[in-house]
Structure 1
Amino acid sequence: MNAKSLFRICQAAACLAVALGLVSCASPVERRIASNPTLYNKLSDSDKVLVNQGRIREGMTKESVFLSWGRPDQVSEGSQKGTKIEKWIYVGTQPVYTQSYGLGWGGGYGYGWGRGFGRGYGYYGAWDPYWGGYGPTVTYVPYKAASVSFRGNRVTEYIRGPQ
């Protein structure tokens, strides 16, 4: 292999890396559109604009809601006056911060003993990251972020935001 062909291989690899990097920077909506071009091409021009913005409207199809908001986290089905209805639920998470002041396993015993007694045995008491400690703790709590109701294949109602 000569230097010229090695350069071309490196150049092609660099182009591939840049292309993959650009794809990974795409928004979730852009990735869904790229993965489902036939669904997207079937949309009206006004619905394409809404989907590109991550928005929906009454009367949209399930496919356009999927392209705009993604797969729902929960789906429920039922019937109302003889017509099939379906509800999609989207779940979000929000952080809940708590403050803890535990003394941990050491219980105030042996401050400053150094390390080397096994995992977690170097800090003791309030500073021990394994057996206790102080500071904020973050827990992520799920909430209903959005819901979409369909009658047949069309949106009849949608709500976005904490419910």
Structure 2
Amino acid sequence: MKAPFLFRLCLAVIVTACFTQCSSTPKTRIEKNPQMYGRLSARDQHLVTHGLIHEGMTRDAVFLAWGRPDAVSYGVNRGRESENWTYEGQRPVRSMSMNLGFGYGGFGPWGFGGWGPYGFGGFPYYGGGSTTTYVPYTSGVAEFVNGRVVSWKSTKR
């Protein structure tokens, strides 16, 4: 009787830990980094709380608003060294498929098959349904020069 309860308890703890670790929102990032949030101006604090950024923000503010970037690249923009943070998302793409196949019925009294008077073949299999594939896309880019945002692009959040 104790084993099923212990199993359920362990499973619940693992699932809860996974969901809390995997979900990163501005609120959770602010709670984990209160000193970083406290150093921001009142305007930046308001924007970060809503997951928004603007030109002039620091790297810390962008991290709190959008999270850890998926890719960081370095380059030059108008003669100044720049750093780009790229964020990726995944969009579901649904498609319909139709399949046709033939199976076999096993060994019947009249040879190979088993279905029908002659034991030949099996029955046709018709299948179909929807399939979901997740396609990556760039959801946002923030460009920094001297540690401040100089430009940014984002899909609707």
* TM-score computed with the length of structure 1 as normaliser: 0.66
- Offset at 1:27? 6.7
SS in 2 for 1:125: strand
Structure showing the higher strand proportion among its residues:
2
1:155 is aligned to 149
How big is each residue's C-alpha offset from its partner over 1:26-80, in whole Å with a ceiling of 9 and x where there is no partner? 9711110011111000001111000011100100001100000001111101133
Amino acid at match of 2:125: G
1:50 maps to which of 40, 47, 50 = 47
Q: Does 1:134 align with 2:128?
A: yes
- How many Å separate the matches in 2 of 1:61 and 1:74? 17
Contact 2:24–2:67 (Cα < 8 Å) also in 1:
no
Aligned residue for 1:11? none
Give 2:147's aligned amino acid. Answer: N
The correspondence for 2:88, drawn from 71, 82, 91, is: 91
SS at match of 1:103: strand
State the alpha-carbon separation in 2 of the partners of residues 80 and 138 from structure 1: 40
Q: Over the residues paired in the alignment, what is the CA RMSD in angstroms?
A: 2.7
Alignment partner of 1:66 out of 40, 63, 83: 63
Conserved? CA contact 2:90–2:135, under 8 Å: yes
Q: 1:97 Cα shift?
A: 1.0
1:41 maps to amino acid: G
Q: What are structure 2's unaligned runs of at least 5 residues? A: 1-15, 106-113, 115-123
Number of the residue aligned with 2:27: 30
Distance in 2 (alpha carbons) for counterparts of 1:137 and 1:42? 47
In the TM superposition, residue 84 of structure 1 has moved relative to its aligned partner by: 1.9
- Work out the percentage of aligned pairs sharing the same amino acid: 44
Aligned to 1:39: 36
Aligned length: 123
Q: What is aligned with 2:108?
A: none
CA distance in 2, matches of 1:27, 1:77: 25
Question: Structure 1: which amino acid aligns with 2:37?
Answer: Y
The 4+ residue runs of structure 1 with deviation greater than 6 A are none
Distance in 2 separating the partners of 1:139 and 1:82: 42
- Aligned equivalents of 2:24, 2:141: Cα separation in 1: 21
Amino acid of the structure 2 residue aligned with 1:71:
R
Q: TM-score, normalised by structure 2?
A: 0.69
